[in-house]
Structure 1
Amino acid sequence: MNNNMSTIEKKKDELVSIIKMNQAIEWIRMLSTKLNPTFILGIFIIYGLGQGFSGSLFRVVVDYYWKDVQLLQPSSLQFYLSLFFIPWILKPLWGILTDAFPIRGFHRRPYFIISGLIGTISAFVLAFSPHLRVAPALVCFVGVSASLAIADVTIDACIARSSIVVREVASDLQTLCGLCSSVGALVGFLLSGFFVHHLGPQRSLSLLALSPAFTTVLGFVIYEHRTSGHHDEKKQVVERVGVTIRSMYQTIMYPQVWKPSLYMFLSLALNVSTHEGHFYWYTDSKAGPAFSQEFVGVIYAIGAVASIMGVIIYQKALKDYPFRKLLFYAQLLYALSGVVDLFFVLRWNLIIGIPDYFFVVIEETATRITGKLRWMPMMVLSTQLCPLGIEGTFFALLMCIDSIGALLSKMGGGVLLRILHITRTDFGNLWLAVLVRGMLRFATLALIFLVPKAGQHEGLLPSQHLEENLSDDNTDEETLELVPIKGGT
């Protein structure tokens, strides 16, 4: 009898898993039907393989490279890592280049190819150049970061336009991006510790060439019309750039735009990063828990699973809540998760009998879920702030503002680590750095009035401004099909 019951339960579980898999396939099919299938393919490559897989490798392998190969102090490493945000700060420039400066009649394909080649070459130089000094290594890392940023601009433009044209899929697109990046990060984190242990930090950097290589392939296969040249094409390009800059300025001056943009910037800038201090402490055999290379990768992999959980929670339960209400509670939970971090650094978990290996799982899970619940609505909000006609460049501007906030977060964390004298071997004040970081997270709650009360599917820009930009938008020059399609191409 018990065997029959267990067999029935197993069949039920299998049936449920099949139904869920079919739902996921139907969901992807729905997005591919309403939008261009090549756009969906681009999301899988850029977000899944690029930001997810390569981003996770960047986080683990690069930390070990600077720590064990270049022998840097955590505060210095924190400053160097902030330089990797420079290509992301330049995203408006990449947006203007891809929108206004076609190469041989193509707006998108050449920039995918260029970004892929830059990233591939930079990764191989890092991996196979022995005795590479700090400055050339920084240049190569910035090259890998630039490769990801340039490819990301085109996909972000597609997401912004699709979110405006088909508003009902705006949250679905952000869910797809979040799932792709989280699943890619999960795979990358699981493999990163293994590769660092068996190949070493430097040789493991060759894996960073995988994403740029696929980006290069994407540049050859993605569907795009070739525009015909005109004798006054240069003049038209200059005029187009001028109109774009003026439209960006007019849009950012609306209170409906600059207020939430300011909130997103400050929420990132005030969230000072002490990650490098934590990483050195994680691996220290005297002051810290002395986690192995493989287990560090497992910790981050658990964080990737938690990020997936955060995306699913947002998609299933929170995507219909107003922006202000959702962001307030998400920021509150994110600040509370920092308290768990403080408990771990002070080793209070050992006092109450919780082992380090178990407690770090609790800490990483809480931080990643709440961080994703905080990030998803901010991305949806960014897409709703973009006017048609300049959505690609304007979304790149908003992401540039966010990148500046992230850069200040890294630099602020580096200053904090240096002021508190946290080094490769001295972690006595690490708890104080975590405490300051937690207080700043709570302080961000006072800025929630800058976020609109509107729902996540409502338009935020004045209708008059949307009509003006739409009338100026030359649809014949839009090279990548981003609007709903019917039938085959």
Structure 2
Amino acid sequence: MSIEEERLTLGDGSVEQSKPRHGFWDFIWAPLYWFRMLAEEMHWSFVFGVVVIYGISQGLGRGLNRVAVEYYWKDVQKVQPSEAQVYSGIIYLPWTVKPVYGLLTDVVPFAGYRRRPYFMFAGVLGIISMLLLALRKNLHVVLALLSLTAGSASVAIADVTIDACVAENSITHHSLAPDMQSLCGLSSSIGALIGFSVSGFLVHLIGPKGVIGLLSIPSALVFLVGMVLSEPHIPNFDYKQVFQKLLDATKAMWDTLKCPEVWRPCTYMFLTGALSLSIQDGMFYWYTDEKAGPSFSKENVGFIFSVGSVGSLLGVLLYQNFLKDYSFHSTLFWTQLIFGASGMLDLMLVLRLNLKLGLPDYFFVVIDEGVSQMTLRLKWMPLLVLSSKLCPSGIEGTFFALLMSIDNIGELISMWGGGFLLHILNVTRLQFDNLWLAILIRNIMRIVPLSLLFLISGSDPSSSILLNEMPDTKEGAETLKVEDLELVSLVNNT
């Protein structure tokens, strides 16, 4: 055995359970034993795939990508903050069609495999798009935007495909489902923390284009996952069934969306995302401006974002330990209210009130970013739990992806709405006089969803929301077969 254990023996001599000794070295080596156990139970290639996709491609890649792309738009393409905000929304578009990727990887295999070809395609797409940005000089802004959007699509396709693998293993190894979710969450959080921590230093050393070029390495690892992943081969697949399965899935999801218990929360999720206008590019330009703003260095910006990832992880822990048992209605009320109030920290910063209070810019921004990301995660967690309870039996995976896409579309509108707000208030690369007004309007819009809470059920998270039997979707679910719709993820927020 990997860890010394003591057997607890009952009076009749039978063994009740095993209890590990909690020595110092056991504590040090426990994570390695845990990884080894998962690899032995579900094949090492699956564990490798989760670490690569969640930890390196999404976590580490997201940290490097955010800082590098911000400086790429600002210093290389020299676009206005309102334009950069709109471009961020366009780059985000591939995440709004996740159910399409889910249906394809579930019902359309290539060369007898359902997962491996999609990983390989995602890897090649990411490598080409990142290298094009890094190696091509004077790249037109349209081509740059297309390349970044293709890179985003690469990460989204890999994300959906590994979600399907996690769901499949959760079905065949149901007792290890919590361990798999922990592996996904830890990989993502640790990867993001490392990515944000080193992003500023790398941008300073090799420039934003150099860092974007480095992002081809995670894409290459995604391609490697497609090469080594262990999955059963499907010979002689009947492609004539594909259209009917896609049709059945679409009909089942539409019938479910017409249920009041589903469309009302979906409407709230969409509106709360769309109304929370995003002006992060305006804030970034102000952060790094030498005259109007505090003129943070690239290293400082990377560290600030890394603190934000710590705040996000803290939000998960706070919800798990203190808020998860409260009703959706009450939890969403307070988290939305706190989310709106936290935006006042940005207003204090831009109006330089922190200096009047004797608080240095860097210290105040670090606190601001940590609190903002923590409250954003607190707001999102109950919506994630609620989404998982809206999925009908038989089409849980693909319908969950649909709900996440609705949330992503709301976030997309918030990006474009924020870009439009920055434009009409004339917030430019060098002009920030009205940035405080943009922040104030954004904060007010964050409070508006409180008037829409009547759309949310007052039930607690432990109760069921949907009826056990839904006649409108039952037939479609049976036609699809459960094993054809395995896409599900409770750790990825996209």
- TM-score w.r.t. the length of structure 1 is 0.86
Which moved further from structure 2: 458-467 or 29-38? 29-38
Equivalent position to 1:199, from 198, 206, 231: 206
State the Cα deviation string for residues 252-294 of structure 1 (Å, max 9, x = none): 1112221211111111111111111100100011100010111
Matched, 1:313 2:313: no
State the Cα deviation string for residues 434-479 of structure 1 (Å, max 9, x = none): 0011001111122222222333344333211376565334356579
**Which residue of structure 1 aligns with residue 218 of structure 2?**
211
**Which residue of structure 2 aligns with residue 350 of structure 1?**
355
Comparing both structures, which one devotes a greater share of its residues to helix?
1
Distance change >3 Å, CA 62–CA 102, structure 1 → 2: same
Superposition deviation, residue 388 in structure 1: 3.9
Between the aligned partners of 2:333 and 2:169, the Cα distance in structure 1 is 27
Which moved further from structure 2: 283-292 or 167-176? 167-176
Equivalent position to 1:148, from 148, 155, 175: 155
Specify the SS of the correspondent of 1:427.
Answer: coil
Contact between 1:224 and 1:479, CA under 8 Å: does it hold in 2?
no
Between the aligned partners of 1:99 and 1:449, the Cα distance in structure 2 is 36
The alignment's C-alpha RMSD in Å is 3.1
Q: For 1:318-357, list aligned pairs within 5 A.
A: 318-357=323-362
Which moved further from structure 2: 334-343 or 216-225? 216-225
The letter for the 2-side match of 1:214 is L
Equivalent position to 2:114, from 100, 103, 107: 107
Superposition deviation, residue 134 in structure 1: 0.7
Matched, 1:283 2:288: yes
Distance change >3 Å, CA 480–CA 258, structure 1 → 2: closer
Matched, 1:471 2:466: no
Superposition deviation, residue 349 in structure 1: 0.3
Between the aligned partners of 1:301 and 1:224, the Cα distance in structure 2 is 36
Between the aligned partners of 2:261 and 2:165, the Cα distance in structure 1 is 22
**Which residue of structure 2 aligns with residue 432 of structure 1?**
437
Which moved further from structure 2: 410-419 or 184-193? 184-193
Contact between 1:157 and 1:393, CA under 8 Å: does it hold in 2?
no
Between the aligned partners of 2:258 and 2:403, the Cα distance in structure 1 is 13
**Which residue of structure 2 aligns with residue 68 of structure 1?**
75
Superposition deviation, residue 78 in structure 1: 1.0
Contact between 2:200 and 2:301, CA under 8 Å: does it hold in 1?
yes
Between the aligned partners of 2:185 and 2:170, the Cα distance in structure 1 is 15
**Which residue of structure 1 aligns with residue 196 of structure 2?**
189
Between the aligned partners of 1:392 and 1:351, the Cα distance in structure 2 is 52
Distance change >3 Å, CA 197–CA 480, structure 1 → 2: closer
**Unaligned residue ranges in structure 1 (runs of 5+):** 1-14, 483-489
**Which residue of structure 2 aligns with residue 381 of structure 1?**
386
Contact between 2:118 and 2:158, CA under 8 Å: does it hold in 1?
yes
Contact between 2:395 and 2:485, CA under 8 Å: does it hold in 1?
no
Which moved further from structure 2: 344-353 or 161-170? 161-170
Equivalent position to 1:367, from 372, 378, 384: 372
Between the aligned partners of 2:487 and 2:273, the Cα distance in structure 1 is 32
Superposition deviation, residue 159 in structure 1: 5.6
Between the aligned partners of 1:187 and 1:333, the Cα distance in structure 2 is 28
Distance change >3 Å, CA 396–CA 267, structure 1 → 2: same
Matched, 1:98 2:124: no
Matched, 1:451 2:456: yes
Distance change >3 Å, CA 162–CA 109, structure 1 → 2: closer
Which moved further from structure 2: 446-455 or 365-374? 446-455
Contact between 2:398 and 2:485, CA under 8 Å: does it hold in 1?
no
Superposition deviation, residue 237 in structure 1: 1.2
Equivalent position to 2:298, from 286, 293, 297: 293
Between the aligned partners of 2:166 and 2:69, the Cα distance in structure 1 is 30
Between the aligned partners of 1:374 and 1:55, the Cα distance in structure 2 is 21
Between the aligned partners of 1:298 and 1:405, the Cα distance in structure 2 is 28
Specify the SS of the correspondent of 1:276.
Answer: helix
**Unaligned residue ranges in structure 2 (runs of 5+):** 1-21, 490-494
**Which residue of structure 2 aligns with residue 257 of structure 1?**
262
Between the aligned partners of 1:458 and 1:175, the Cα distance in structure 2 is 23
Which moved further from structure 2: 428-437 or 92-101? 92-101
**Which residue of structure 2 aligns with residue 246 of structure 1?**
251
Q: For 1:97-136, list aligned pairs within 5 A.
A: 97-136=104-143
The structure showing larger relative contact order (alpha-carbon pairs under 8 Å, at least 6 residues apart) is 1
Contact between 1:168 and 1:457, CA under 8 Å: does it hold in 2?
no
Between the aligned partners of 1:170 and 1:157, the Cα distance in structure 2 is 13
Between the aligned partners of 1:393 and 1:143, the Cα distance in structure 2 is 23
Between the aligned partners of 2:36 and 2:332, the Cα distance in structure 1 is 30
The letter for the 2-side match of 1:264 is M
Between the aligned partners of 1:164 and 1:460, the Cα distance in structure 2 is 22
State the Cα deviation string for residues 157-189 of structure 1 (Å, max 9, x = none): 456678899999988866654443232111111
Equivalent position to 1:414, from 414, 419, 423: 419
Contact between 2:50 and 2:162, CA under 8 Å: does it hold in 1?
yes
Which moved further from structure 2: 402-411 or 318-327? 318-327
Specify the SS of the correspondent of 2:391.
Answer: coil
Between the aligned partners of 2:456 and 2:36, the Cα distance in structure 1 is 33
Distance change >3 Å, CA 51–CA 187, structure 1 → 2: same
Q: For 1:46-61, list aligned pairs within 5 A.
A: 46-61=53-68
Specify the SS of the correspondent of 1:326.
Answer: helix
Equivalent position to 2:279, from 249, 257, 274: 274
The letter for the 2-side match of 1:182 is S
The letter for the 1-side match of 2:109 is P
**Which residue of structure 2 aligns with residue 405 of structure 1?**
410
State the Cα deviation string for residues 211-234 of structure 1 (Å, max 9, x = none): 22221122123232122325xx23
Which moved further from structure 2: 342-351 or 151-160? 151-160
Between the aligned partners of 1:158 and 1:97, the Cα distance in structure 2 is 14
Q: Sequence identity of aligned pairs in percent?
A: 46
Between the aligned partners of 1:47 and 1:477, the Cα distance in structure 2 is 23
Contact between 1:161 and 1:392, CA under 8 Å: does it hold in 2?
no
